[in-house]
Amino acid sequence: MIADAKARVRLHIEAAAKLYDEREALLPALVQSTGLSPEGVRFAWERSYERSISESDLETLIAEAAPAASVLAVLSSNVFVAPVRALACALARSAHVFVKPSRREPHLVRALVRLEPELGMTLLTDAEASVFQGEVHVYGRKATIDAYRTSLPASSQLVSHGPGFGVAYVGPDADLDQSAAR
């Protein structure tokens, strides 16, 4: 286990960058599990996959992450590139991180965990995750969050990252192409 939170997050991001370099090996599995075309998977790798962190963002992440004895990240299947950030947040909080991959898309997170054995992250089954004692971050639909809320022991703390929507205001004089790019 690595005690220093910054070191844990840095190691995780380095593994994410290494996985990016090996991304073509995961392409067939990701095409099958996500339903995206090969071009769609490649687009997500290029545009949305996080593989670096600025020192300023790392400082902010660590400063805002309250330490926890253990953290379980229950990952959603909707966005295959999302585990990088979810696990970075968990690692900022604890040296004892457990992961419940999505049943539909487990490939990326398994590859990440394989590339960072020094972090000692443990993959859990559905049954193990549903009775986890500690801090539980659930990413997903309201039904998934509700299921964890009812199954977790009273000693667990549930932190939900559920569905939502974004809103942006574009003024009448704004350049639409430039606004859309932002």
- Among 150, 135, 127, smallest CA distance to 86 is for 135
From first to last of its 182 residues, what are the pLDDT tens digits of the chain?
Answer: 788 999 999 999 999 999 999 999 999 999 999 999 999 999 999 999 999 999 999 999 999 999 999 999 999 887 899 999 999 999 999 999 999 999 899 999 999 999 999 999 999 999 999 999 999 999 988 999 999 999 999 999 999 998 876 677 888 988 888 887 77
In this structure, the strands spanning 122-123 and 157-161 are unpaired
Q: pTM of the prediction?
A: 0.86
